[in-house]
């Protein structure tokens, strides 16, 4: 699903990723962890083609992203759902309109869009709030809307960048349960987080980064959690 | 839903959601088209006034002494059909000269009646310099013609003046269009910038540049059409208010009508130009923004 071979990413103020080599198989649930500035968000940006790697090879769905033309990137992204810490919802659009975005982009019939939006909102427990605006919802609800938007297209891959960073513990678990549910239905999930409690609670593979380098990769939760 | 309907709906929705930016964009295009229209109408009025002034051409065909004036008139009528003709005998020419000299007419005392040549005068209002030249050339061939005078000296100067005025006008017009395009592009950039979050999210969920950009282009087109349509309406109202006053102030303006000042093709061109301007300015803005993200 995702293959990184000696990937480097450098910004003008220094390297963000250095010699990162890792593989994520189809159907896996992986935590990406490390302190702030470790390179977690940068790695996710490279995977969904928001930025190019400086060197090395990155394959997503078996395709070398460096060789994907700009016009093909949107079609790759349609298979990737992304969730952010700050939700990235449009405040002047309703919950349903926000969730419908990926479906409209694909050109689905409005009837089909409505059906899928209703289904996904039901699955995240927000069907009754589809006509509300995001700012009328709690932080946890907003993040569930963001998760619904990321999952409404049934993506093969879901990337979440600190999805629980702004949530209290109960809401954090709600969101993580949604991601785990998606993973159980076959979606490969990569979650960037520095929340040690999540690493302890969910027994998943952990790739730990520090200063742009992979320092640990495996199931050794404690080893990563003590960073 | 057909995709075009979807894009138009999104464009209209965006116009509704951002009324301030929409009004600024429409206002900018309104001003640009209105100023352009005023400029074009002023040029058009100036040309029309100059043409009315310069078009009062009188061509004099001076005949050789003893030439048959009636035959010359007949020939002139054939060469210049439909033009007002007047024959002037030598005696009448001398009388005119005497009248024009006024108190100094005494210098003509003792001058014989036949000292001035008889002539046929052809009045050709509304004629251009090229037409006057051609007519004068034809009149040279009438029987007994010695010289043809069509006031070429001042007509040439007038033509030169008109030509230069047109060139300066076109230059100013070009500059105005360029400045307008930049102004509108900057205004519409605001519209694109105001929706940067929406664009970024659309790109994030896999929208192509075409999907993101098309509603902006439709918005630009609509804003351009509305702004230009309002400007054309304002131009027509201004013309209706000002033309009677111009007619009262300048005698030559009596001939000027609405189609002279604001011909229908110009009005249509202004609306099309405004729409095109909105479209192009939107395209420039959205393409520049999409390249950056």
Give the residue ranges of DSSP H helices in B206-251: 209-249
pLDDT at residue A226 is higher than 60: no
Residue A86 located in a structural domain: no
- Rounded CA-CA distance A187/A207 in Å is 18
Average pLDDT over residues A198-222: 82
pLDDT at residue B1 is higher than 60: no
Residue A171 located in a structural domain: no
Which region holds residue A14: left if phi is over 0, alpha if psi is between -120 and 50, else beta?
left
Whole-model pTM above 0.90? no
Q: Which residues pair with B62 in a beta bridge?
A: B119, B147
Residue A147 located in a structural domain: no
Q: What is the pLDDT of residues A64-95, one digit of tens each?
A: 988 888 888 899 999 999 998 888 898 988 99
Residue A175 located in a structural domain: no
CA of A73: which chain B residue's CA is closest? B206
Distances (CA, A) of B129 to A89, B76, B119: 70, 19, 21
What is the band of B150 on the pLDDT scale with cuts at 50, 70, 90?
confident
- Rounded CA-CA distance B235/B47 in Å is 18
Residue A223 located in a structural domain: yes
Q: What is the pLDDT of residues A19-33, one digit of tens each?
A: 999 999 999 999 999
Nearest by CB to residue B204, choosing from A71, A82, A104, is A82
pLDDT given at position A220: 61
Residue A13 located in a structural domain: yes
pLDDT given at position A44: 93
Q: What is the pLDDT of residues A144-171, one digit of tens each?
A: 899 999 999 889 999 999 888 877 888 8
pLDDT given at position A224: 46
Q: Is A82 on the interface with B (CB under 8 A)?
A: yes
CA distance A224 to chain B (A): 30
CA of B291: which chain A residue's CA is closest? A70
Distances (CA, A) of B202 to A103, A146, A160, B12: 11, 13, 17, 18
Query: What is the extent of the structural domain holding A226?
Result: 1-79+190-227
What is the full DSSP assignment across A133-145?
-GGGS-HHHHHHH
pLDDT given at position A223: 54
User: Which residues of chain B lie closer than 8 angstroms to A161, CB-CB?
Assistant: none
Q: Is B112 on the interface with A (CB under 8 A)?
A: no
CA distance A110 to chain B (A): 7
Q: What are phi and psi of A83, to 5 degrees?
A: -125, 135
Average pLDDT over residues B133-150: 87
pLDDT given at position B245: 81
SS3 A36: coil
Q: Is A155 on the interface with B (CB under 8 A)?
A: no
pLDDT at residue B21 is higher than 50: yes
pLDDT at residue B233 is higher than 90: yes
Residue A72 located in a structural domain: yes
pLDDT at residue B2 is higher than 70: no
User: Which residues of chain A lie closer than 8 angstroms to B210, CB-CB?
Assistant: none
pLDDT given at position A202: 84
Q: What is the pLDDT of residues B28-76, one digit of tens each?
A: 889 888 888 887 888 777 777 666 665 567 888 999 888 888 898 999 8
Tell me how many residue pairs between chain A and chain B have CB atoms under 8 A apart. 44
Q: Which residues pair with A209 in a beta bridge?
A: A214
For chain A, counts of helices (H) and of strands (E)? 8, 10
Residue of A105, A112, A134, A160 to mutate, interface with B, max B Cβ within 10 Å: A105
- The one-character DSSP state at B254 is G
Nearest to residue B222, comparing CAs of B16, B2, B6, B3?
B16
Q: Is B205 on the interface with A (CB under 8 A)?
A: yes
pLDDT given at position A79: 92
Contact at 8 Å (CB) between B220 and B185?
no
pLDDT at residue B181 is higher than 70: yes
Average pLDDT over residues A180-193: 92
pLDDT given at position B154: 63
Residue A195 located in a structural domain: yes
Tally of structural domains, chain A: 1
Handedness of CA A159, A162, A163, A164 (dihedral sign): positive
User: Residue A64: which CATH number?
Assistant: 3.40.50.300
CA of A158: which chain B residue's CA is closest? B205
CA of B208: which chain A residue's CA is closest? A74
């Amino acid at each position: 699903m995702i293959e990184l071979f000696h990937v480097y990413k450098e910004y003008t103020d220094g390297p963000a990723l250095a010699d990162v080599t890792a593989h994520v198989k189809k159907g896996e649930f992986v935590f990406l962890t490390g302190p702030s500035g470790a390179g977690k968000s940068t790695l996710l940006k490279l995977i969904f083609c928001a930025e190019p790697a400086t060197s090395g090879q990155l394959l997503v769905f078996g395709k070398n992203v460096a060789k994907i033309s700009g016009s093909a990137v949107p079609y790759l992204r349609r298979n990737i759902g992304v969730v952010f810490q700050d939700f990235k919802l449009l405040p002047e659009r309703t919950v349903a309109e926000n969730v419908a975005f990926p479906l409209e982009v694909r050109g689905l019939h409005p009837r089909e869009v409505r059906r899928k939006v209703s289904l996904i909102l039901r699955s995240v427990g927000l069907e009754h709030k589809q006509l509300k605006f995001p700012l009328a919802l709690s932080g946890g609800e907003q993040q569930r809307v963001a998760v619904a938007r990321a999952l409404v297209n049934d993506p093969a891959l879901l990337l979440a960048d600190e999805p629980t960073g702004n949530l209290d513990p109960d809401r954090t678990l709600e969101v993580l349960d949604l991601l785990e549910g998606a993973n159980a239905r076959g979606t490969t999930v990569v979650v960037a987080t520095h929340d040690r409690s999540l690493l302890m609670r969910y027994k998943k593979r952990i790739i730990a980064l520090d200063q742009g380098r992979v320092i640990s990769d495996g199931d050794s939760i404690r080893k990563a959690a003590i960073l | 839903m057909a995709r075009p309907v979807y894009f138009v709906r999104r464009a209209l929705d965006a116009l509704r959601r951002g009324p301030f930016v929409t009004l600024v964009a429409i206002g900018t295009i309104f001003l640009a088209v209105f100023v352009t229209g005023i400029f074009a109408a002023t040029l058009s009025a100036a040309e029309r006034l100059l043409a009315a002034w310069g078009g009062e051409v009188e061509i004099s065909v001076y005949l050789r002494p003893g030439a048959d004036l009636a035959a010359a008139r007949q020939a002139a009528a054939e060469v210049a059909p439909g033009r007002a003709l007047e024959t002037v005998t030598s005696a009448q020419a001398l009388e005119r000269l005497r009248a024009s000299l006024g108190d100094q007419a005494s210098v003509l005392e003792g001058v014989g009646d036949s000292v001035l040549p008889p002539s046929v005068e052809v009045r050709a209002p509304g004629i251009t310099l090229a037409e006057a030249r051609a007519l004068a050339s034809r009149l040279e061939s009438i029987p007994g013609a010695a010289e043809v005078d069509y006031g070429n000296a001042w007509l040439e100067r007038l033509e030169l003046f008109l030509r230069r005025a047109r060139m300066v006008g076109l230059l100013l017009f070009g500059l105005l269009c360029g400045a307008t395009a930049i102004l509108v592009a900057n205004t519409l950039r605001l519209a694109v910038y105001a929706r940067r979050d929406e664009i970024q999210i659309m790109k994030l969920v896999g929208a192509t540049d075409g999907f993101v950009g098309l509603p902006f282009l439709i918005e630009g087109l609509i804003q351009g059409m509305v702004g230009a349509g309002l400007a054309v309406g304002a131009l027509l109202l201004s013309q209706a208010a000002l033309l009677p006053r111009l007619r009262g102030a300048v005698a030559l303006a009596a001939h000027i009508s609405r189609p002279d000042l604001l011909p229908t093709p110009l009005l249509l061109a202004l609306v099309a130009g405004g729409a095109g301007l909105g479209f192009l300015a939107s395209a420039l803005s959205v393409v520049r923004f999409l390249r950056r993200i």
